[in-house]
Amino acid sequence: MNEKSSVSSRRRFLAAAGAAASACGTTAVPDHHDGKPFRIDVQSHMYPPPVLDFMMTRGDAPRAYKKGETYYTITGEWHRRVRPQHMDVDAKLADMDKAGIQTTALSINDPGPERFGADAPKVARLAHDFIGEVVKAHPSRFFGLATLPLYHMDEALRELDRCVDKLGFRGILLYSNLAGRFPDEDEFRPLFGRAEEIGVPILLHPAYPTTYEAVKGRSMVAGLGLMFDTTIALARIILAGILDETPRLKLLCPHVGGTLPYLIGRIDHQTQVLERGAENISKPPSEYLRQIYLDAVSPIALGIKYGYDFVGPDRLLYASDHPWVDPNLIVSNIEELQLPADHKKKIYTDNARKLFRL
């Protein structure tokens, strides 16, 4: 099958899935949940055990090791403990039930395939096969996001085809940097065009930060480094003109956009008044940012409120960042805002249904 017919096939598959769902009055995600709170979570992570086991065989980072029964991962200089809910599907389901989450988008956690050199395609397949089995076992509770070996672009696009066509994945997780390089660079640009062609959204997620040396002191890697990385990557995507080249691209940024919504006025001023960095864009950066979806992962309600005010209720989605964050924390922060009921329904369910074609 050539590339054009492959794209056409995927479009027919997605359209047929939607038509079949409409015909029978149901979707992969049910419309109700026995009268209980009903939410769709668009950011939640697992460490696939097959990937961890492979990392255990490696001498260089990224690698994994165990203390007792607990896994730890090393990416660059960063050591992280793997929590039980990162590997135990039943534990994740129990936490979902406690937070009224019916359905969750599953993706792997950093490190991504791009850090594994020649083994990158293997790591991606191991991860996707595991997530695919979880989705197959619990089709109404999970859907998958593909994380691709982007230094091997031909194989990455074939793996995306497999994930969408064979495994039923609904989107892509793209790391904010790819082993130190940003995704707007020319080598990685084919991904955006393919995502637009087949209509799958991209979740731009932080990775081992390019600012690691600046934030490792005072334990600020997760608190600041990850947010700065998302901010830089998203700003570069906008300023590179990618959203002009792919106007139908569906891009979702977690953690309420990192820090970019708070800084976008300065970026507008730099590009529109001082004429710095505007050569690839046709309108102010803030206008592009308003067409991007944001998820509501913020430990402070005021941060969610700013995102809500910036992009509006149609482009804000509930997410948990489980298991790093307690899903109920995000729920309580959204509830604290006392939003109109129809806006909360959009945030908790409707926007995710539309974006991921659930």
Tens digit of pLDDT for each residue in 247-260? 999 999 999 999 99
Confidence of residue 32 (pLDDT cuts 50, 70, 90): low
> Stretch 17-35: mean pLDDT, rounded?
46
CA pair distance 170, 132, nearest whole angstrom:
11
Q: Say which amino acid occupies 45.
A: H
Percent share of the chain, pLDDT over 70: 90
The two structure tokens encoding residue 193? 């065009």
Of 76 and 7, the structure prediction assigns the larger pLDDT to 76
Domain residue limits at 128: 3-48+86-356
Helix (H, G, I), strand (E, B) or coil at 269: helix
In a domain, 241, yes or no: yes
Burial of 293 (0-12, 13-18, 19+ CB in 10 A): buried
In a domain, 138, yes or no: yes
CA pair distance 38, 41, nearest whole angstrom:
10
In a domain, 35, yes or no: yes
Kindly report which listed range (31-45, 84-98, 290-304) carries the lowest average pLDDT score.
31-45
Confidence of residue 37 (pLDDT cuts 50, 70, 90): confident
* Strand positions, DSSP E, 29-136: 39-46, 63-67, 70-75, 78-81, 101-108
The whole model's pTM is what? 0.91
In a domain, 136, yes or no: yes
Task: Tell me the backbone φ, ψ of residue 121, rounded to 5 degrees.
Answer: -60, -35
Q: Is the pLDDT of residue 24 over 50?
A: no
CA pair distance 49, 36, nearest whole angstrom:
32
Q: Is the pLDDT of residue 53 over 80?
A: yes
Confidence of residue 109 (pLDDT cuts 50, 70, 90): very high
CA dist 352 → 132, 171, 195, 196, 315 (Å): 20, 11, 17, 17, 9
In a domain, 57, yes or no: no
CATH assignment at residue 259: 3.20.20.140
Q: Is 134 within 8 Å of 168 (Cβ atoms)?
A: no
Q: Is the pLDDT of residue 330 over 60?
A: yes
State how beta strands 78-81 and 202-205 pair: unpaired
How many secondary structure helices (H) and strands (E) does the chain include?
15, 11
Tens digit of pLDDT for each residue in 173-231? 999 999 999 999 999 999 999 999 999 999 999 999 999 999 999 999 999 999 999 99
Confidence of residue 23 (pLDDT cuts 50, 70, 90): very low
Confidence of residue 8 (pLDDT cuts 50, 70, 90): very low
Structural domains of the chain, count: 1
Tens digit of pLDDT for each residue in 111-130? 999 999 999 999 999 999 99
Confidence of residue 84 (pLDDT cuts 50, 70, 90): confident
In a domain, 61, yes or no: no
